[in-house]
Structure 1
Amino acid sequence: MRTGFKVLGLVGMLAAGPGTYAETPPTIHTTTATAKETKDLVKVIGKVVDAAKNTPASFATVALLRTDSTAVSGVMADENGVFSIPEVPPGNYILRITTVGYDTRFVSNVSIATEAGTTDLGVIGLTASAQELSEVVVRGEKTMIVNDIDKKIVNVGKDLLATSNNVSELLEKVPSVSLDENGNPMLRGKGNVVVLIDGKPSSLYGNDLPTVLQSFPAELIERIDVMTTPSAKYEGEGASGVIDIITRKSRIKGTNGNLRGTLGNNWNNNGSGYINHKEGKWGLRASGSAQQRKWFFRRTLQRENYLGETTTRLDQNGNGQDGNTSLFGRLGVNYDFDEQNSLGVVVNYSQDQNHNRNFYHNETRLPNGELIQQFDRLSNGNSRGNNVNANLDYRHLFSDKDHVFTFTANYSEGQSNGSSEFDQQSDWDELDLRQQSLRQNNRQALFLNADYTWPITPKATLEVGARSRLNSSTTNNAFYTYIPDTDTFVINPNASNEFGYSDASYNGYVTFTQKTGDWGIRGGLRVTDATQHINQISRQQSFKAHFLYLVPTLALSRKLDDETLVKLNYSRRVQRPQADRLNPFTDISDPRNIQSGNPNLTPEYTHKAELGYSSYKDKGGWGPSMFVDYSNNAITRIRTIDEEGIAYSRFDNVGREMAYGFETDFSRQISEKIKVNATGRIFRSEVVSEIANIDNQTWSYSGNLNAFMQLPFNVRASAYLNYDGPRAIAQGTRQGTFIANMGLRKDVLERRGTVSFNVQDIFLSRIYQSELRTDTYLQNSLWQRTNRFVGLTFQYKFGKISASGDNDA
């Protein structure tokens, strides 16, 4: 713990830059001009009118931008078209004015002088748009996909939001991203993805990632950054890469908000809302959501067992349902001490309740069809959990552009508990049994992070940072068996355990970026010192593992023109085993398929390289790339079988995995009414282990399509198609999966309201299948969600932004 604070202290001293605070007090502001005292700030005023009619353009949005187009401040004109932007530092700016029915107006070379006191821009005329309102909306939205030197940025616009209620549904529409049957994100069809929220680990919001993503409202998201070869600034873990989910931050003075409600079939309903208020130095934001979900599924499994004197065949056919109710709330306050320093505090709270019901019919037969075993198994489970975290962010801006120091502290804690009942019945009396299980979990986490960015020259930038993360959890699993003679449930010590886990990781990184002409290079190195403690409390066994590893990264780029870039990236990744995979607890909820953890797992090391090209013009472009991923000591699930046909599975370090191939994203405004974003990939996947006698290889292809079309009556249609092709896994092949969604939306109430209709999994094609083949058994399994989602959503934006900047919002 002390080591982490020493590292953070060092970064704090580095933040002083070449000098020290004692020698030269920093002068900081949010513009490119030299910072001044508050008394030197200038008020910018003006009036917006219809250029043809000379009538006021009431409630037009007026934004003040830096010369690099980043936002500084903004207000809404009053009903007379008059606007007033207070406290503007001297400098050169661009003024952007937007409102319904008019072309966006840019006023360049807005020069603000110190001695002016008030700068009057006079009357500014707007030209009425000759196109449909909906077409103006399409043109005004950000480009959906932006390729940066080491990441892919996906901006979340109205089209994505119209068919997405939560972050989980958003991620499905992001290029290169898909979800497995449990709702965990995958990159290029592979798991082990680090998911961040505003640069912080998603585990701070709860211990179950799918639940966190399903609880987070989609309208809070501004963009999603996808990094398959992340720089050293990001976590070294995540063999497949990093997904950073960036939430919206209001920079405009005044009050605004959003309310959203969805009614869906099969009790799939949700409601959410947020409100932002910024006045003077203070900013306040609050949001909340409530969701109710229910889905049904079916599952089949066929397994031929070649052990023993004769072959046997197990057939499992089952169905079930899962239900979830969740609440999410967020409250944040930020304060600008001056032009140099700002502080933000955010508290998040989430709560969820889950219910599941599963039924399985099991038959075991000989090759001649003779039935040798049969039973039905019914399970009912309930669980409840909550999580709270408090986050503090401090930001210090220096006099040079992009010269910044940030510090973050986050503490979270959560609890969950659950119970399940199992009732197994058979014509064979010895197979009749009843069981119960109880589970409790308590967890705490502390996260500290400091980053310092120093633009040494206009073309050279140094970044250094340090991070400490401390986690601890205790899980108690108790499994009981019913004894008919005494009419009591007796604990089964072989299937019960109390498991304690803690880990501490201390990280430091440095990156250096240099631009020379059209060339750019970014090199980085991250060092991680991590310790994991595993405590089998009930068995009085403990394990300790220490890791020290380096994560080098390199990115080279060359601009062929303003819109075209060629880049070469390399990153090393380290995947430490997760707590649930280390826990040796034996899960016997399905007596024919028993699972357990492995406390002897060691890290998986992955090398990732990409060569990419991107060219995006006004109406679209494309970004092809070639990639190769090589993992040594790969962590994967291994399944063995005994002579009675019972399967035992756990995670092991099996050998090496490799994937290489070609991927491209494509974006095109085909016409004024049709826009398409697509991603395609063809690749080869290999899993090889001499020790486990594994050698699986396959070629495959994947792709997704987001298409948007303008229909009559200002209705906007969207369609989403995704296909994840087959992939080699340790003992066989995971089959391909196809998903199709569609949606319609229409702006109403002068664009303050939006009505949308969407259907998910139109063809009920979300089917996950796998085949496992070894010398001792052959297994085919299937899992399918059997209900499509149909929902109707209404969203309303509200708020009148103050034109004066006073407290009369």
Structure 2
Amino acid sequence: MKYFSTLILLVFIPVVAAAQSGLKDKGKISGKVKDAVTNTPIEYATIAIYKQGKLQPINGTTSDAKGNFVLTNIPDGEYQVSIDFLGYKRALTEHLLINATSNSIRLNTIVIAPNQKMLNSVNITAQASAVENKIDKLVYNAGNDLTSQGGVATDLLKKVPMVSVDIDGNVELLGNPNVKFLINGKPSSIFGTSLADALQSIPASQVKSVEVITSPGAQYDASGTGGIINIILKDNKVKGYNGSINLSAGTRLENTSVNLNARTDNFGVNLFFSANKTLRSKTLNTRNKTNLITDTTSNQLQNGYGYLERNSYQSGINFDWAITPKNNLTFGISMHHFSNYNEGLTNQQDEQIKGSNFPFSDLFSMRNSNSHSGENAIDVHADYKKTFKKDGEELNIGYTASFGKNSGDYYQKQDYINGAKPSSGSTGNNPGNDKQHQVSVDYTLPLNTDASFATGAKVEFENINSTSLVNPFNSSLNQFIYSASQSSSFNYSRQVYAYYVSASFQLFKFFDAKAGLRDEYTNTGVDFQGASIPSYNFLSPSLVLSHKLNKSTTIKVAYSKRIERPDFGDLNPFVNSSDPYNISYGNPNLHPEIGNNFELGFNKSFEEGGNINITGFYRHNGFDIKQYTAPYDSLLVAGKYYKNVYVTTRANVGSEVRTGINISASLPIGKNFTLRPQIMASNRRVTVNLPNTPDFVSGYECRMNMNASYDFKHNFTAEAFINYESPRFLLNGKNSSLATYNFAVRKQLLNKKASIGLTTNMPFSQYVKQSQTVITPGNYQYSQRQVPNRWFGISLSYKFGKLEFKKDRNEDISPPGIPNDL
């Protein structure tokens, strides 16, 4: 709290000083921009304000995703406002008076019509800023990310401010791994089994943008104490037909994606297909364990290797039908598949030493193992939107369904040299199904020019069932025999009933405020012996206050209360004993984690196109869910005894407090060179209520990266990215640091319709070394993995169609009365 309080003072001292300096209120003009044909909001329309009769604009802005815009700090006078958007006719509103009695003007909805003559003859391309900071979220636009071309969604996430990704693809948001992932704003069952695998199954070429919401409002589900990451896939809503094809090949990955779009005046279709494959790669492993039991020391040395392969595909179709100018219907269905396969060989030495004598037992063995996991999922959504005569009044009704079928199996067999002991091993199979249904209703009502009210309800039904079939190796029969005592079944159901209210308004004529309250009632059923989760009600308040110090500088303070409900992987009690000395399983008795998140933000944009964002945060998690590893001399699990084993599972360990700061910026240096640095530093303290662990653990953690891009002109661009993460402490040990780097170049051809790119990742280092140390009383374990991370790739893309049309935030707009020079 000491650091958090200091941060509050640092942010608000200049605000209070400015307020006390006698700065008087100035005028404001606001409005909304829509397409005259489709009646949909237009984002990134350029709004400029001029003194009446003058040709030089005095201020300007762009419309947001809902078409809204606000011009502030306008002195008394008479003005005219122009609305411009590429491919549309200009709209002009004149003789607007700002004075002491009328200093806030709300314009009627401004409808602009496509310029059909221009659309038939113009090919327009542009790009948005790499990072956009909005009142309730941060948006990372992936279109110009060169070093991720030919990669997957995980590679993009490494560039997103406030997000960190480890070598295995595990994601954290401001240091919290409990993140709610969405695709196009909707949940998907593809995230149910393995989030890392799911993210690595989405080609980066298919991603349009990534939205990061660290303090979600009441309209969002309360789940995810870390916040929400929404992956927006590519589409196009311009009249006509168009499409794109992306291909990439390399020493690590092979990707392909295809997008097709067609649209008439009121009906549109989007069809997509993508697939990727992670080529077979070899990882080296070593592990040393020492256990002290009274006067006997047991040492175990392991070294070996493993091979990994992944493959996936996604396909879907979406329809958009403007039934009438005020009634719109969208519908879509998509299919997802991913799978991975691992196989390996481990050499092992087990020795036991009593006192200072030589080993009285020294055994050598070799273990062969493999495992496979995968999921097939189908997602369906249907959404109806109705607008009313009153500008901004909307009714939205949505239905989403997801059907996932997952599978997992393993094989492991350990043979001792010279038959010193009988062979041992087991096989296991873990099939399951996941079904989700959601129905939501949302209504928004503007109250006046500065305030609006929103409310809504949602019901969610989820059912998961899983079966664990285990077959231990019978050495006397030399075969694997089914064991009913080690096998089990797991059935899980959850119903969530939610209702929310929220409001946007001005507070003290100083803050733009957005406040809300969400109420979620959860009923959970678990069909597993000894497990019981009571029903509970959860209130999730949220508040965002923002203030514009000037047209380019904004400060923000936010609070949200969130919940993390354990997911399928956390709860599934299936025992993974593919390594009988390091086993893992889920915990069906987990309770939800509760998070209280506070943030302070500062954002400034520069005329040259750069920006800087500073976010200070304080996060407190109660019933904190953590993964931890504990040693056992002998452990009975599902009817089988494991000797000298480390067990990894998840538990409500206690509480966690994290205080930190995230700084990110985009800094243009000249016309052709741009730097995007980012640093996140935090202090984490975890209070622990577990046996054989300290009462608390704490430490500092840091993540730094730098992205540099240079435009050589002639449509040739180069980019470099370097990333560093400091060591991470565990409940009873720590992980090592991580450093990676990559380079890319791209040449655009055929009037920017085609491009060819080259990418390399860590060209001078074949492996990334990752180590982990676990220490408990009488036990020590050190393990190291050498993960192959060097690769080279080539990417090709081609865009086609009657019209390529993208929104341009930075186009120069000519004064009223003078045509745009196209």
- Structure 2-normalised TM-score? 0.80
Alignment check: 8 A CA contact 2:466 2:489 kept: yes
Residues in 2 aligned to 1:377 and 1:160: alpha-carbon distance in whole angstroms: 42
Matched, 1:233 2:200: no
Matched, 1:466 2:467: no
Aligned to 1:47: none
What 5-or-longer segments of structure 1 have no aligned partner?
A: 1-29, 39-64, 73-90, 99-104, 128-132, 804-809
Aligned to 2:370: 380
2:393 to 395, 403, 413: 403
Look up the equivalent residue of 2:406 and give its one-letter code. S
Aligned to 2:500: 509
3-state SS, counterpart of residue 705 of structure 1:
strand
Q: Tell me how far 1:544 sits from its aligned partner.
A: 4.0
Aligned to 2:617: 627
Q: Tell me how far 1:120 sits from its aligned partner.
A: 8.7
Matched, 1:391 2:381: yes
| Superposition pairs of residues 508-527 of structure 1, within 5 angstroms | 508-516=499-507, 517-527=509-519
Aligned to 1:109: 92
1:639 to 598, 606, 629: 629
Matched, 1:270 2:255: yes
Aligned to 2:637: none
What do residues 328-378 of structure 1 show as CA deviations (whole Å, max 9, x unaligned)?
Answer: 101111211011011111110122343211222222335677463332211
Matched, 1:594 2:583: yes
2:403 to 410, 413, 418: 413
Residues in 2 aligned to 1:512 and 1:373: alpha-carbon distance in whole angstroms: 69
Alignment check: 8 A CA contact 2:266 2:321 kept: yes
Please say which of residues 328-337 and 140-149 is displaced more in the overlay: 140-149
Q: Tell me how far 1:656 sits from its aligned partner.
A: 1.4
Aligned to 1:54: none
- Shift of the 742–347 alpha-carbon distance from structure 1 to 2, 3 Å rule, reads same
Matched, 1:780 2:782: yes
Aligned to 1:618: 607
Alignment check: 8 A CA contact 2:150 2:255 kept: no
Alignment check: 8 A CA contact 1:719 1:743 kept: yes
Matched, 1:685 2:684: yes
Q: Tell me how far 1:95 sits from its aligned partner.
A: 4.1
Matched, 1:720 2:703: no
Residues in 2 aligned to 1:431 and 1:745: alpha-carbon distance in whole angstroms: 59
Aligned to 2:443: 452
Residues in 2 aligned to 1:412 and 1:34: alpha-carbon distance in whole angstroms: 33
Q: Tell me how far 1:756 sits from its aligned partner.
A: 0.8
Q: Tell me how far 1:94 sits from its aligned partner.
A: 3.5
Alignment check: 8 A CA contact 2:772 2:782 kept: yes
Q: Tell me how far 1:272 sits from its aligned partner.
A: 1.2
- Shift of the 525–765 alpha-carbon distance from structure 1 to 2, 3 Å rule, reads farther
3-state SS, counterpart of residue 453 of structure 1:
strand
- Equivalenced residue count is 708
Aligned to 1:436: 427
Alignment check: 8 A CA contact 1:504 1:531 kept: yes
Q: Tell me how far 1:262 sits from its aligned partner.
A: 0.7
Alignment check: 8 A CA contact 2:392 2:444 kept: yes
- Shift of the 699–364 alpha-carbon distance from structure 1 to 2, 3 Å rule, reads same
Look up the equivalent residue of 2:511 and give its one-letter code. W
Residues in 2 aligned to 1:121 and 1:194: alpha-carbon distance in whole angstroms: 42
Aligned to 2:523: 531
Residues in 2 aligned to 1:328 and 1:524: alpha-carbon distance in whole angstroms: 36
| Superposition pairs of residues 214-293 of structure 1, within 5 angstroms | 214-266=200-252, 268-293=253-278
Alignment check: 8 A CA contact 1:375 1:431 kept: no
Aligned to 1:197: 183
Residues in 2 aligned to 1:642 and 1:434: alpha-carbon distance in whole angstroms: 19
| Superposition pairs of residues 710-789 of structure 1, within 5 angstroms | 710-711=711-712, 714-762=715-763, 763-764=765-766, 766-789=768-791
Aligned to 1:101: none
Alignment check: 8 A CA contact 1:161 1:218 kept: no
Look up the equivalent residue of 2:277 and give its one-letter code. Q
3-state SS, counterpart of residue 645 of structure 1:
strand
Q: Tell me how far 1:691 sits from its aligned partner.
A: 5.0
3-state SS, counterpart of residue 675 of structure 1:
strand
Residues in 2 aligned to 1:611 and 1:221: alpha-carbon distance in whole angstroms: 29
Alignment check: 8 A CA contact 1:466 1:508 kept: yes
Identity rate of aligned residues, in percent? 25
- Shift of the 332–690 alpha-carbon distance from structure 1 to 2, 3 Å rule, reads closer
Residues in 2 aligned to 1:497 and 1:671: alpha-carbon distance in whole angstroms: 64
Residues in 2 aligned to 1:119 and 1:712: alpha-carbon distance in whole angstroms: 32
Q: Tell me how far 1:122 sits from its aligned partner.
A: 9.5
Residues in 2 aligned to 1:386 and 1:509: alpha-carbon distance in whole angstroms: 33
- Structure 1-normalised TM-score? 0.81
- Shift of the 767–453 alpha-carbon distance from structure 1 to 2, 3 Å rule, reads farther
- Shift of the 162–778 alpha-carbon distance from structure 1 to 2, 3 Å rule, reads closer
Q: Tell me how far 1:710 sits from its aligned partner.
A: 1.6
| Superposition pairs of residues 554-569 of structure 1, within 5 angstroms | 554-569=543-558
Alignment check: 8 A CA contact 1:67 1:94 kept: no
What do residues 45-103 of structure 1 show as CA deviations (whole Å, max 9, x unaligned)?
Answer: xxxxxxxxxxxxxxxxxxxx99847799xxxxxxxxxxxxxxxxxx99734448xxxxx
Look up the equivalent residue of 2:591 and give its one-letter code. T
- Shift of the 592–488 alpha-carbon distance from structure 1 to 2, 3 Å rule, reads closer
- Shift of the 585–690 alpha-carbon distance from structure 1 to 2, 3 Å rule, reads closer
- Shift of the 448–542 alpha-carbon distance from structure 1 to 2, 3 Å rule, reads same
Residues in 1 aligned to 2:515 and 2:458: alpha-carbon distance in whole angstroms: 19
Residues in 1 aligned to 2:350 and 2:287: alpha-carbon distance in whole angstroms: 12
- Shift of the 768–513 alpha-carbon distance from structure 1 to 2, 3 Å rule, reads farther
Q: Tell me how far 1:789 sits from its aligned partner.
A: 2.5
What 5-or-longer segments of structure 2 have no aligned partner?
A: 1-30, 40-59, 68-79, 95-107, 634-642, 806-822
Alignment check: 8 A CA contact 1:717 1:745 kept: yes
Aligned to 1:209: 195
Residues in 1 aligned to 2:229 and 2:617: alpha-carbon distance in whole angstroms: 18
Aligned to 1:577: 566
Alignment check: 8 A CA contact 1:292 1:325 kept: yes
2:595 to 602, 606, 631: 606
Residues in 1 aligned to 2:112 and 2:207: alpha-carbon distance in whole angstroms: 38
2:295 to 294, 303, 309: 309
Please say which of residues 329-338 and 599-608 is displaced more in the overlay: 599-608
- Shift of the 119–508 alpha-carbon distance from structure 1 to 2, 3 Å rule, reads closer
Q: Tell me how far 1:518 sits from its aligned partner.
A: 4.1
- Shift of the 605–33 alpha-carbon distance from structure 1 to 2, 3 Å rule, reads closer
Look up the equivalent residue of 1:573 and give its one-letter code. R
- Shift of the 96–596 alpha-carbon distance from structure 1 to 2, 3 Å rule, reads closer
Residues in 1 aligned to 2:218 and 2:769: alpha-carbon distance in whole angstroms: 37
Residues in 2 aligned to 1:731 and 1:118: alpha-carbon distance in whole angstroms: 64
Look up the equivalent residue of 1:471 and give its one-letter code. E
Q: Tell me how far 1:221 sits from its aligned partner.
A: 2.7
Q: Tell me how far 1:787 sits from its aligned partner.
A: 4.0
Q: Tell me how far 1:220 sits from its aligned partner.
A: 3.5
Look up the equivalent residue of 2:398 and give its one-letter code. T
Q: Tell me how far 1:573 sits from its aligned partner.
A: 1.7
Aligned to 1:87: none
Residues in 2 aligned to 1:325 and 1:283: alpha-carbon distance in whole angstroms: 31
Aligned to 2:320: 334
- Shift of the 662–490 alpha-carbon distance from structure 1 to 2, 3 Å rule, reads same
Aligned to 2:53: none
- Shift of the 120–597 alpha-carbon distance from structure 1 to 2, 3 Å rule, reads closer
- Shift of the 400–781 alpha-carbon distance from structure 1 to 2, 3 Å rule, reads farther
Q: Tell me how far 1:649 sits from its aligned partner.
A: 2.6
Alignment check: 8 A CA contact 1:32 1:400 kept: no
- Shift of the 485–731 alpha-carbon distance from structure 1 to 2, 3 Å rule, reads closer
Residues in 1 aligned to 2:541 and 2:732: alpha-carbon distance in whole angstroms: 32
